[in-house]
Amino acid sequence: MKVVYMGTPEFAVQSLKEIAAAGHEVVLVVTQPDRPKNRGKKVVPTPVKEAALELGIEVVQPERVKNNQEFLEQLKSVEPDIAVVAAYGQILPQEVLDVPKYGCVNIHASLLPFLRGAAPIQRAILEGYMFTGISLMKMDIGMDTGDVIRKSIVDINGLTAGILHDELMYLGAEMIVELLKDVEKNGADALKGTPQEHEKATYAPMLTKAEAEIDFNKAADEVALLINGMDPWPVAYTKYKGETVKIRGPEWYGTTRPGEDDPPGTILKVTKEGMLVMCKGSLLMIHSVQFPNKKAMPVGEYIKGNSLEEGVILGE
């Protein structure tokens, strides 16, 4: 089939590669414009653009797709059978949705109608979901509101956002290739979906760095969710003697015992196993720290040449 592929971040790369590897003709890749990144503000291509160029596929990067006649005509000129969209970053107008013969299918990293929006992987962890998954959705003009064609579930079970991202990325690629094979065989019938229960919808807005600050006045399991959900970006952080330290690798440790009434954030014990910290009515073992201008490392490695003092209150 002739496929137009629309995506931008790393999450969208694997599906593009798998679609091409399955023998489909990817006639055009649409991705967001290149943007400045990191401290040097060097303009870098999107991950999807890099992958498309490696595959020898034409790439276009419109600043906007709505009310963009030039882009619309370019899309029509390649006469796609279907468009596949994964974390593209713009809502598609009806005139774009209408171009492909079989319409547009979105690979969304949640079990719709839950966690519509930009950051479903991280929000699933932050909000304590037990499981999440991939939804393949027939797109309409709303934000993740179209009929769901297929779903597949993944247990979260203490995963970081980075690990969960990769699991869902590969799952989404597998599912979309299977769906395209079905469309080749059965046409539009393969794309019949189930309307979402819109009244149950929840949303997953983009993360902010401010959200990543740890509040040890919360229970240890809540703090652990924050640390996992913010890894690998923007990374949860706190203060140690006024110095910002990023935190990775939490482990739920248990409730406090009689006599343990230190203020939340107090470092109770530091060993090669990690740093035991007081939270609200509970204890958290932290295994990895990253101080400014240093690499992230296990607590056991860090204390070989540096100190983490017991009794210090984190966050002050």
For residue range 190-225, list pLDDT tens digits in order: 999 999 999 999 999 999 999 999 999 999 999 999
247 burial via Cβ count (<10 Å: 0-12, 13-18, 19+): buried
pLDDT given at position 259: 65
* Rounded CA separation 286/278 (Å): 11
* Helical pair 13-21 and 161-186, crossing angle rounded to 10 deg: 30
- Bigger pLDDT: 250 or 114? 114
Query: What are the tens digits of pLDDT across the range 154-172?
Result: 999 999 999 999 999 999 9
pLDDT given at position 258: 64
- The two tokens of residue 93 are 């107008």
The tally of CA atoms less than 13 A away on the side-chain side of residue 282 is 16
**Confidence class for position 255, pLDDT limits 50, 70, 90:** confident
pLDDT given at position 250: 84
| 133 neighbors 154 (Cβ within 8 angstroms) | yes
Q: Hey, what domains does the chain have and what are their CATH numbers?
A: 2-200 (3.40.50.170), 209-302 (3.10.25.10)
* Rounded CA separation 314/93 (Å): 48
pLDDT at 260 over 80: no
- The two tokens of residue 172 are 């989404």
| 127 neighbors 205 (Cβ within 8 angstroms) | no
* Rounded CA separation 200/226 (Å): 24
* Rounded CA separation 30/28 (Å): 7
Beta bridge partners of 107: 136
**46 phi/psi in degrees, rounded to 5:** -70, 155
Q: Which of 161, 165, 160, 128 minimizes the C-alpha distance to 287?
A: 160
Mean pLDDT confidence for 145-151: 98
Place of tokens 């653009």: 49
Q: Are strands 59-60 and 82-86 parallel, antiparallel or unpaired?
A: unpaired
